[in-house]
Amino acid sequence: MSDVVDEVVDAVVAVAPDLRAALADHRGAKGGTNPSGDEQSLADRKLDDLLYEALTRIDGVGEFASEERESVRDCGDGLSVAIDPLDGSSNVESNNSMGTIVGVYDEPLPASGRDLVAAAYVLFGPITTMMVARDGEVTEYVVEGDADSEPGDDVRRTVGEDVALPEDPVVYGFGGRVPDWTDGFTEYAREIESELKLRYGGAMIGDVNQVMTYGGVFAYPGLQSRPEGKLRLQFEGNPMAYIVESAGGRSSDGAQSLLDVEPTGLHQRVPVHLGNEDLVDRLEATLA
């Protein structure tokens, strides 16, 4: 199994320069709507195609699912890979950070976060970085290749081993329109605003990466108009929770770890709160 996880990670590293190049090539073009009803850009679709090709050719990958596809693709026996090819796609137009999220489950999809055996994200910022969590450890890489790198070139450089959330939190980023927050979340936010600095860029990966770097809390909470929140459990909530928890932090849907949320559908949404343990504990206490 760990060989297959290696192959998945290697494949994502190898394709990351192409994904980055595709962002520039497809900037601004509209592509329709995805299965969750969100507007899709051509960049979403192009990155989805590139990752589909890179990941389904791996022998030990048995299922492939993407936020951009209606259903799970059966590719034989093996691990199940769920991806959000382009998280924060509205940032393509404004040229702000965005990224790719990958979850590797050892059960058929939709699966519980407890079935994850690895998770990773690629952050397309001024440089391309990748955070990989497996076996309870998190490693950060810089991906240095470009679209002309040859297959087989190892284009990654390790920049952080055993990555852990800093103990003294500094930043917070909360999504959703403020008037649409619930009273409980508003009360929590008012406290946090007086303690930490706001860092919100509109792409969960960029915002969670700030939390991983400086410590703090990210949330896309359940809203009055949408109690289930915006983010998807299989493609976004679970993998990011696995990474943050592997780095010593906590995740929550408001009451329990995201990894304990019962999977009910491939495109199921869930309120997402991620960050330092104490900050997520306080959130749950306020919402209780």
Site string for ligand FBP, 16-45 (x = CB under 6 A): ----------------------x-------
Residue 91 CA: distances (Å) to CA of 79, 96, 146, 195, 204: 31, 5, 21, 28, 11
**Contact between 56 and 75 (Cβ < 8 Å):** yes
DSSP state of 242: H
Minimum CB separation of residue 201 from ligand FBP in Å reads 9
Closest CA to 250 of 270, 274, 272, 233: 274
Position 89 contacts ligand FBP (CB under 6 A): yes
With CB under 6 A as the contact rule, which of the stretches 69-77, 86-94, 239-247, 280-288 interacts with ligand FBP?
86-94
Position 88 contacts ligand FBP (CB under 6 A): yes
| First-last CA distance in the chain | 39
Position 87 contacts ligand FBP (CB under 6 A): yes
Minimum CB separation of residue 271 from ligand FBP in Å reads 12
Minimum CB separation of residue 154 from ligand FBP in Å reads 29
Residue 229 CA: distances (Å) to CA of 73, 109, 139, 232: 26, 21, 29, 9
* CB closer to ligand FBP, 156 vs 207: 207
- In the set 54, 55, 130, 203, which binds ligand FBP (CB under 6 A)? 203
- In the set 48, 220, 239, 241, which binds ligand FBP (CB under 6 A)? 220
For 118, the token pair is 């690895």
- In the set 175, 216, 222, 237, which binds ligand FBP (CB under 6 A)? 175
Position 48 contacts ligand FBP (CB under 6 A): no
Q: Token pair 């070139």 is at which residue?
A: 153
* Touching ligand FBP, residues 91-150 (CB under 6 A): none
For strands 197-198 and 216-220, give the pairing: unpaired
For 161, the token pair is 């081993």
Binding region for ligand FBP (CB under 6 A):
38, 84, 87-90, 175, 202-204, 220, 230
